[in-house]
Chain A
Amino acid sequence: MKDDYLWDGSGEPDPEVQKLETALGRYRHNQPALAFDPVAEIRPMKRRWSLFSLRWSYPFGAVAAVVLLAAAVFLVLRSRPTGNAGPPWDVARLEGAPRIGRHSLGEKSGLGKLGIGQTLVTDSSSRATITLDETGRVEVDADSRLRLITNGPGRKRLSLERGTIHATIWAPPGEFVVDTPSAVAVDLGCVYTLHVDDSGAGLLRTTMGWVGFKLNGRESFIPAGAICQTRPKIGPGTPYFEDATAAFRGALSKFDFASSTPGERTALLGIILADARKSDALTLWHLLSRVSDADRPGVYDRLAAFAPPPVGVTREGILGLDRSMLDAWWTSLGFGDIYLWRTYERDWSQRPPNAK
């Protein structure tokens, strides 16, 4: 079959695919590897020491052993997770006079340092960026308060108490986390903007990649082009693409956050399903686990019409909220591999979020 040729090169060759392979082959990777030796020095090979192979006298060896033991105990105690092991974040002024604690950053101040527990505050006329080479860069808009909570290796946690940040993160997924009063945002490889208003309500807009939003077991995944609102004590709402119809967005907002009777929620769901487009599979997948048992079949049917469930995912399993089947369906939608979320979420979710 020609389809087999596109899949794995077997079967009857497809002339059109062959032509494209020939034409595009000129762009194929052909660079030799760098000499990685210099950078490998960052983490040198383990050396195998043998104390007794050294010709030390026994008294000297005993003293050395005691010193080594004391040093080891000190290092072990010191290496306990304090969340304070990383270097401070560099803060650069963009406009006005942003403050770190009591210190203002003026035009001639140079870079400031944001340490654990410190808060970066911008007023209505100031903006700043914070950068950590191994993690990413965060632009802090005017009227914002941003506090550094954790700065350990592989674990950076900020708290956005108010205002707006624009995050560009190149750390591995799951390492950069931002608490807000109404949800926790976990970077899964992305560029995004996060806004928190004075009431603690939030709005997350993803520009590239995707972000996980979570509070009290309620999860939302926001891929590029989508946004998600949060409310204190409720958590993240259902994400949606910004170009969804006004009726769709309005009904979804009420469904997520308004006090409604079961009947009203069913009516709102009817509007959502009727106005859903193929790209709104994002929203429909999230709704599967947020609607009542009675309403779930309708959501399943609508989503399946847009994006058939992958092999191994059954209607019965989804209606029963089988986690592995829901995950498999999500991954098949092409917004991101759920594995990233499940792996990293398992670790950080063991700690209580700093959400109010």
Chain B
Amino acid sequence: MTVWPVTESHEDDSLVSAARDGDRAAFGRLYARHARMVHGILLARVPPREVDDLVQEVFLSALRQLHGLRDISRFGAWLGTITRNRANDYFRKSIPEANCTEPVSENQAETRATNHATEQEAAVILGVVRALPEAYREPLILRLVEGMTGPEIAERTGLTHGSVRVNLYRGMQMLREKLAETARGAS
């Protein structure tokens, strides 16, 4: 697991400033620092097979809109909002509107065509996580899939430590219950 030093958060400001002036390497570093958050937010909402392409689209969109970011210290929260909007747009264009309120459910979760038992298990677990309430599934995916720590999730998304902590614990508790139900159903 990667633990980000606190001082790294301040580097974002200078990287954003440099990127706004056209420094491509700086934007590349912003990508390296925030790609897992973007990936996780998308994975919580859209089918896994679509996530990689959407990650790139989100960063391209962010690059184009970077000059409109007023508070560079909130780059992470701003990027997170762009990501969620992109996920919303994916469903607006891809499925009937009636299904938009619940874009992801256990049944919709993609089960990869494979005979490998561990991969199937992973697909089932991911499906259960994605069926949790939105407030829980995002921090859980950032923690369990992307390997981010709670403090890092808070820093990257702009949420408070308390909010992330509560959602992680409550989400984990609900995930345990759902997985137990799933196991009982399977047996």
Q: B8-56: which residues lie under 8 A (CB-CB) from chain A?
A: 20-24, 27-28, 31-32, 35-36, 38-40, 43, 48, 52, 55-56
Complex-state Cα separation, A207 to B84, whole angstroms: 13
Q: B102-155: which residues lie under 8 A (CB-CB) from chain A?
A: 103, 118-119, 121-122, 125-126, 129, 134-135, 141, 143-147, 149-151
The 7 closest A-B pairs by CB, nearest first: A45-B22, A29-B39, A334-B135, A170-B85, A33-B31, A189-B81, A7-B150
29 contacts between A and B (CB under 8 A): A6-B150, A7-B165, A8-B3, A8-B149, A8-B151, A20-B125, A23-B118, A26-B119, A27-B126, A33-B35, A33-B59, A34-B56, A36-B60, A40-B24, A40-B27, A42-B64, A43-B22, A137-B92, A168-B92, A188-B81, A191-B88, A191-B92, A207-B101, A208-B100, A208-B101, A208-B103, A334-B135, A339-B158, A343-B71
Q: How many residues of B contact A (CB 8 A)?
A: 80
Q: Indicate if the CB atoms of A23 and B121 lie closer than 8 Å.
A: yes
Q: What A residues does B70 contact at CB under 8 A?
A: 343, 347
Q: Does A209 contact B (CB under 8 A)?
A: yes
Interface string of A316-353 (1 = CB under 8 A from B): 00000000000010011010010110010001000000
Q: Indicate if the CB atoms of B36 and A28 lie closer than 8 Å.
A: yes
B170 to chain A, nearest CB (A): 10
Q: What B residues does A208 contact at CB under 8 A?
A: 84, 88, 91, 100-101, 103
Q: Does A3 contact B (CB under 8 A)?
A: yes
Determine which residue in A17, A209, A310, A337 has the highest number of CB atoms from chain B within 10 A of its CB, and name it: A337
Which of B22, B61, B71, B144 contacts A170, CB < 8 Å? B61
Which chain B residues have a beta carbon within 8 Å of chain A's beta carbons?
A: 1, 3, 20-24, 27-28, 31-32, 35-36, 38-40, 43, 48, 52, 55-56, 59-61, 63-71, 74, 77-78, 81-82, 84-86, 88-89, 91-92, 97, 100-101, 103, 118-119, 121-122, 125-126, 129, 134-135, 141, 143-147, 149-151, 158-160, 162-163, 165-169, 172, 175-176
Which of B86, B134, B143 contacts A6, CB < 8 Å? B143
Q: Indicate if the CB atoms of B81 and A172 lie closer than 8 Å.
A: yes
Q: Does A311 contact B (CB under 8 A)?
A: yes
Which secondary structure characterizes the binding site on chain A? Answer: mixed
Contacts beyond the supplied A24-B145, A171-B85, A343-B71: 8 A-B pairs with Cβ under 8 Å: A23-B122, A29-B36, A31-B55, A170-B85, A172-B65, A224-B134, A310-B160, A347-B70
Q: Does A356 contact B (CB under 8 A)?
A: no
Which bucket holds chain A's interface residue count?
35 or more
Q: What B residues does A45 contact at CB under 8 A?
A: 21-23
Q: Indicate if the CB atoms of B122 and A24 lie closer than 8 Å.
A: yes
Q: What A residues does B56 contact at CB under 8 A?
A: 31, 34
Q: Does A54 contact B (CB under 8 A)?
A: no
A268 to chain B, nearest CB (A): 29
Complex-state Cα separation, A62 to B87, whole angstroms: 55
Complex-state Cα separation, A171 to B86, whole angstroms: 10
Q: What A residues does B3 contact at CB under 8 A?
A: 8-9
Q: What A residues does B32 contact at CB under 8 A?
A: 33
Q: Indicate if the CB atoms of B158 and A40 lie closer than 8 Å.
A: no
Which of A16, A224, A337 contacts B158, CB < 8 Å? A337
B134 to chain A, nearest CB (A): 7
Q: What A residues does B143 contact at CB under 8 A?
A: 6
Q: What A residues does B91 contact at CB under 8 A?
A: 208
Q: Indicate if the CB atoms of B27 and A36 lie closer than 8 Å.
A: yes
Q: What B residues does A168 contact at CB under 8 A?
A: 88-89, 92
Complex-state Cα separation, A188 to B43, whole angstroms: 21
Which secondary structure characterizes the binding site on chain B? Answer: helix
Q: Indicate if the CB atoms of B144 and A20 lie closer than 8 Å.
A: yes
Q: Indicate if the CB atoms of A23 and B24 lie closer than 8 Å.
A: no
Which of B67, B84, B97, B159 contacts A209, CB < 8 Å? B84
Q: Indicate if the CB atoms of B35 and A29 lie closer than 8 Å.
A: yes
Q: What B residues does A61 contact at CB under 8 A?
A: none
Q: What A residues does B121 contact at CB under 8 A?
A: 23
Q: Does A169 contact B (CB under 8 A)?
A: yes
Q: Indicate if the CB atoms of B21 and A46 lie closer than 8 Å.
A: yes
B98 to chain A, nearest CB (A): 10
Looking across the interface, which residue of chain B has its beta carbon closest to that of A206? B101
Q: What B residues does A188 contact at CB under 8 A?
A: 81
Q: Does A21 contact B (CB under 8 A)?
A: yes
Contacts A40-B22, A44-B22, A310-B163 given: A170-B77 contact, CB under 8 Å? no
A70 to chain B, nearest CB (A): 26
Q: Does A179 contact B (CB under 8 A)?
A: no
Q: Indicate if the CB atoms of A36 and B28 lie closer than 8 Å.
A: yes
Looking across the interface, which residue of chain B has its beta carbon closest to that of A313? B162
Looking across the interface, which residue of chain A has its beta carbon closest to that of B77? A337
